[in-house]
Each structure stands twice: as structure tokens, then as C-alpha cells.
Amino acid sequence: MIEKESQFWAESWDRHASDYFTTPPHLGPCLELLFPDKSWTYLEMGGGTMRDARYLAQTGRSVTGSDSVEEVVSRARLYHGSALNITKIDAFHTGLTAKSFDVTYHNGVWSNFSNDRDIRQLAAEQARISRRYMVAVVHCRHNQPYRETFRARSVEDPLYDIRFFEIDELRSFMESFGPTRIYPCGSPLAYQLADRWRWGRLPQSIRSLIYRHVAPRTSPKDWFRIIAVTRLY
């Protein structure tokens, strides 16, 4: 796996941003079900297009989107305008004071670091700046066809050359900071719960119950991403 530098992300988003901006976010609806409290503050790190942050902001939550690459931040500002608070933050060294946000999260960022030492450093900094919960979302290694798709695409495009995680592996990076729960993102049930025209019409409290108690018991072979939620000590 190649190490992806700032220049890589600036160029890669030139090619992919429009697709990402127009694809409905999958994580935002899951976070909405996990964290119903709208008075909390949220930070997305390594946000890229920041589409999940935008989704959460539209639900009335106080959300900041961030990324370490200047060009990526500028593009997101241009696209989202005043709908989202956006700032430049390096996830390794955020420069933020301790417990700055109630909930911090990132989606697909750790998947670009092959070295465990980097992941541990990212996790420690995230735990430091989070007041209540830290959330990590990575690509699911248990889903074999999904891995195959990425492997085939990576021949042409290094964006798809990423690390996939198993549930226990992801948990091992998080649980020293507090009790950690695992949920699917992009699983058949998660899709149903987020779909406004089907189960999405159920009250949010019911969808949240189903998501939190039933979705984690479904087979991770059908999950696209794994969400790890750590309640900080």
C-alpha cells in the first residue's frame, strides 16, 4: 500500500470529488441514530468532501468538517458554502485543546495508514480532543467481494489501494480509551433504516433501537464499513 501525501489527495479529489459530493452519505444517518442528542458538538476529521458532516449539520447539530489538505478544505468550502463550518486540521496534531468536541469521527481515514504506529497516534490525539465519544469508521475486511472490487480498481487508481480492518483489529486500537461498541455502516439493514421511503418512515427512536441492538448482530460479511464507538473514560 502506498503512503498517500497531501499532493495525492489534492489530485485524487480533482477526479473523484463530484461523484462523492453527489452520492448520498451512508455514515451520517448511522451517526444520527447512534447520537440522538442534538445539543452535542461534532468534529469530522479527514473529511474529504465532508458529506457526512453536511448531513449531520442539516439535522440541526453543531458540526465542524475538517481535513489537513488545503486544496481539499477549499473545495469543501466552495461546495458547502455557509451550510457547514469547515476548518483545516491535521489529525495527528490537531492543535485543539483537550475535550474540544463531544463527538469526533472520521470515515475511511485510517484505511490509508498501513503502519499500526500511525493509527495508535491518530487514536490518541482523537481521544484527547473528544469529550464523550470517539468514532472510527474503516473498510470492512470481512466483506470479501468488496475487498475484491477495491483490489481490482486499485490497479488503475491508487485511491482504492487501502487497508481493510477486521472487527477485533479495529477494536484493539480503540478499547484502551474506553468501552467500545461495533456497528455496521452500509449493511443491508443500515441502508433500510436510513431509507426515508421505507423503514426510514418509522420514528427515529424505533430506528435507533433497531440499529443499535439488531444491526450489530448481522453478518459482517455484508458490511461495507465498520463503525467503532468508544465512550471515553
Q: What residues line the site for ligand SAM (CB under 6 A)?
A: 9, 20, 45-49, 51, 67-69, 72, 90-92, 107-109
Q: Which amino acid is at 129?
A: I
Residue with cell 453478518: 219
In this structure, are residues 91 and 45 in contact, taking their beta carbons and an 8 Å threshold?
A: yes
Distance CA 170, CA 145 (A): 20
Nearer to ligand SAM, 22 or 205 (CB): 22
Nearer to ligand SAM, 20 or 151 (CB): 20
Indicate the angle between helix axes 116-129 and 167-174, nearest 10 degrees: 50
Provide the minimum distance between the beta carbon of 149 and ligand SAM in the complex, in angstroms, as a whole number: 16
Distance CA 26, CA 230 (A): 20
Distance CA 103, CA 142 (A): 27
Provide the minimum distance between the beta carbon of 52 and ligand SAM in the complex, in angstroms, as a whole number: 6
Nearer to ligand SAM, 6 or 210 (CB): 6
Provide the minimum distance between the beta carbon of 214 and ligand SAM in the complex, in angstroms, as a whole number: 25
Distance CA 20, CA 231 (A): 30
Nearer to ligand SAM, 51 or 141 (CB): 51
Provide the minimum distance between the beta carbon of 221 and ligand SAM in the complex, in angstroms, as a whole number: 23
